[in-house]
Chain A
Amino acid sequence: MTATALLAGGLKLQVAEVTAQTPSITSITFTDPAGGPLPAYVPGSHLLVQCGDGVNAYSLTGSGRSPSDYSVSVLRVASGAGGSAAMHRLRAGDRVLVSRPRSAFTPMATARHHLLIAGGIGVTPMLSHARAAAEWGMAATMIYMYRPAEGAHVPELRELLDTRLVECTDRGSFRQALAEKLSSQRLGTHLYVCGPAAFMESVLASARELGWPETRLHSEPFGTPELDAGQPFRAKLTRSGIQVEIPAGVSLLEALEGADVGVPNMCRKGVCGECSVAVLRGTPQHRDLYLSEDQKASGRTMMCCVSRSLDQELELDL
């Protein structure tokens, strides 16, 4: 994935504040350099931030209702790809490119009660949920497991949740608190968990064992439902006798339009079926919602607004 494609339509923000939460966790607050409001976001959303050599995803910790700033908290990972170290080097006044907030961890509107389970730095989206719940007058309970002296955002959580916050700094007390909460939730409760993979797996496994249905279980997947930029390829157009190069991050439809080869289109999202083109040679990488599985398998048609190529070259009847 190229960073530029992911950050397309993103925002250029300024670091307003850097605060140490714990020895290894730092909160960074971004604002619009012109002082304007920022787009609202769904609680539990994340930002893609370009920093150092890479692009990393961080959960926003605000409620998202009418933000004047975006705040993230970053754990310095010694073994990481270097993104977290670069984030920790940010200072007030630095400019960064961030994506628009993306939602992948939405609180359920129908929930009567939110049971939030956070492990370590996984507290960040849970804090966002807790804030939104408080703003909308919804009940939330949190179990927060952290290593001694490594609890980020603890004062805010105590104030937000009061007796509905259970803090655990060792496995034993966490297991006990979890078992107690999992077996005492009224119907209508939804569970959200975020933390290290093994932590999330064990929480989900305990919940399932106690009869929690999948519908009520929500865990943070950073995978974005959006299409990635894809690999570059070449299209040979047999009727017009030209070749078109399609770089990563540019759709086949856009590249064809750039070469003055018009293809009827409508949704540009792979659902309407308008932009189909006949494939004469090569294997398309189908990414649309329009073609049936059989049609996709035959490889003879493709939706050029979203689909790409598995081969370096496709021959198209255009």
Chain B
Amino acid sequence: MSTNLIDHAIPQEAATILPERITRFPFPFSADSYRYSTNIEPALKPVSTEAGGWGTRLLDIDEHYLQELGERAAVLQRDPSRLQVLPHMRPAVWDAITTLLPIMADEHPETMSFERKGDSCRWQNRLHNLDLEFTAGVDASLPAEPLLFLGSQIQDDIALLDQRENALWLDAGLVTFAADWSLGFDVGMKFLEVHGPVPRVHDEQIITRAQQFLMNLQPGEKYRRTNWTMTVGRRLDTSTETYPEWAQDRSAVVTDPALPDRLHLRVEVQHLIRLPHSGAILFLVRTHLLSLADIARVPAWRERLGRVLAELPPDMAGYKGISRYREAASAWLLAG
């Protein structure tokens, strides 16, 4: 198959032989430095990158589908607290189900279909060999707790926010692939409190603006943003709960000759949707991991990520948990 030799010999042709995990990767940087901003844009807008493009689907399904959903189930088995539904969020959960399944069927007609008559629904998902009839609003008609069920069909982590008292409240979620935070701890918080640990954004009014924007969304409106950090290994579960299991990798990777294969750029494509019936805000987080070795196969990405990592202010690097290895990573990328 493709070898590095070929990539280097004819870089112009590289794009044609790059694997999908690279061509479809949502590379998040458009400049050589990165700062927080209220980076919200309409959903479904196509984005082209130096390696290909992404963004035309709300629910992205890729070759990791079954494996990631298997991992989600295993995480939940070990730690059921990754699912949190405050009682008043039941209608919002159902709203998310009856909103997302038809979208997923529309976007993936070759493997999925959804039919609905009144409250009677039929959901078929050939990737799971699933043919399910259920009644919207009736928990017992699903094979699992409703949000667990939704989380078994889509790769995204899910959060639901209630709007009241002039604020948004994170009152339900199914989050197994968190980038160093804990849903079990955060559930029940206001949007501003959720973002308490993030540096800079409060002084810069970024989060208050985002909340205002979200509170003004009308039913059915869909937006998205990206967020990024780095992870050692293809580890999706970097929740605060399991921090002791993966924390040491952050120091160990610095001197590891395998750093380019072990270290991954972790990009979250986050969707923000006002649900039509409950009026809740649905927040979806789809996590993509790509190793530095893969990133380096796209010369523009190699250089830009190298520069971003070198330039990132210490408080942001510290918050993202990349301080120990970002210099090593940047040096490797820029040595190209």
Residues of A in contact with B (beta carbons under 8 Å apart): 37, 39-43, 45, 64-66, 68, 100-103, 106, 108-110, 135-136, 215, 225-226, 266-269, 271-273, 289-290, 292
Q: How far is the CB of B90 from chain A (nearest CB, A)?
A: 7
- Given A42-B277, A65-B277, do A109 and B89 touch, yes or no (CB 8 Å)? yes
Within 8 A of A (CB), among B196-210: 205, 209-210
Closest to B214 in A: A271
User: What 1/0 flags go to B198-236 for Cβ under 8 Å of A?
Assistant: 000000010001101100101110010000000000000
Most buried by A among B38, B90, B118, B280: B38
Contacts of B41 in A (CB 8 A): 266-268, 272
Q: Is the CB of A271 within 8 A of B219?
A: no
Give Cα distance in the complex from A289 to B37, angstroms: 13
Contacts of B205 in A (CB 8 A): 292
Residues of B in contact with A (beta carbons under 8 Å apart): 37-42, 88-92, 95, 98, 116, 118-119, 136-137, 162-165, 171, 205, 209-210, 212-213, 216, 218-220, 223, 276-280
Give Cα distance in the complex from A149 to B210, angstroms: 49
**13 contacts across the A-B interface (CB closer than 8 A):** A40-B219, A41-B276, A100-B218, A103-B219, A108-B164, A109-B92, A109-B164, A109-B171, A266-B40, A267-B40, A267-B213, A290-B38, A292-B205
Q: A103's contact among B118, B223, B279, by CB below 8 Å, is which?
A: B279
Contacts of A100 in B (CB 8 A): 218-220
Q: Is the CB of A103 within 8 A of B165?
A: no
Closest to B210 in A: A271
Q: Is the CB of B37 within 8 A of A273?
A: yes
Give Cα distance in the complex from A182 to B137, angstroms: 32
Q: How far is the CB of B260 from chain A (nearest CB, A)?
A: 32
Interface of A is mostly: loop
Contacts of A215 in B (CB 8 A): 164-165
Contacts of A226 in B (CB 8 A): 216, 218
Q: Is the CB of A66 within 8 A of B212?
A: no
Give Cα distance in the complex from A271 to B208, angstroms: 10
Contacts of B137 in A (CB 8 A): 65, 135-136
Q: Is the CB of B280 within 8 A of A109?
A: yes
Q: Is the CB of A271 within 8 A of B279?
A: no
Q: Is the CB of A272 within 8 A of B38?
A: yes
Give Cα distance in the complex from A64 to B136, angstroms: 13
Q: Is the CB of B213 within 8 A of A289?
A: yes
Q: How far is the CB of B207 from chain A (nearest CB, A)?
A: 11
Contacts of B162 in A (CB 8 A): 109-110
Q: Is the CB of A268 within 8 A of B116?
A: no
Q: Is the CB of B218 within 8 A of A102?
A: yes
Contacts of A266 in B (CB 8 A): 39-41
Q: Is the CB of A41 within 8 A of B39?
A: no
Q: How far is the CB of B138 from chain A (nearest CB, A)?
A: 11
Closest to B40 in A: A267
Contacts of B90 in A (CB 8 A): 136
- Given A101-B219, A226-B218, A271-B213, do A136 and B91 touch, yes or no (CB 8 Å)? yes
Give Cα distance in the complex from A199 to B213, angstroms: 33
By Cβ-Cβ distance, the 6 closest A-B pairs, closest first, are: A40-B276, A42-B279, A40-B277, A109-B88, A271-B213, A267-B40
Q: Is the CB of A272 within 8 A of B164?
A: no
Contacts of A40 in B (CB 8 A): 95, 98, 219, 276-277
Give Cα distance in the complex from A30 to B216, angstroms: 27
Q: How far is the CB of A38 from chain B (nearest CB, A)?
A: 10
Q: How far is the CB of A270 from chain B (nearest CB, A)?
A: 8
Give Cα distance in the complex from A269 to B224, angstroms: 13
Closest to A102 in B: B218
Give Cα distance in the complex from A79 to B279, angstroms: 35
- Given A136-B90, A215-B165, do A39 and B213 touch, yes or no (CB 8 Å)? no
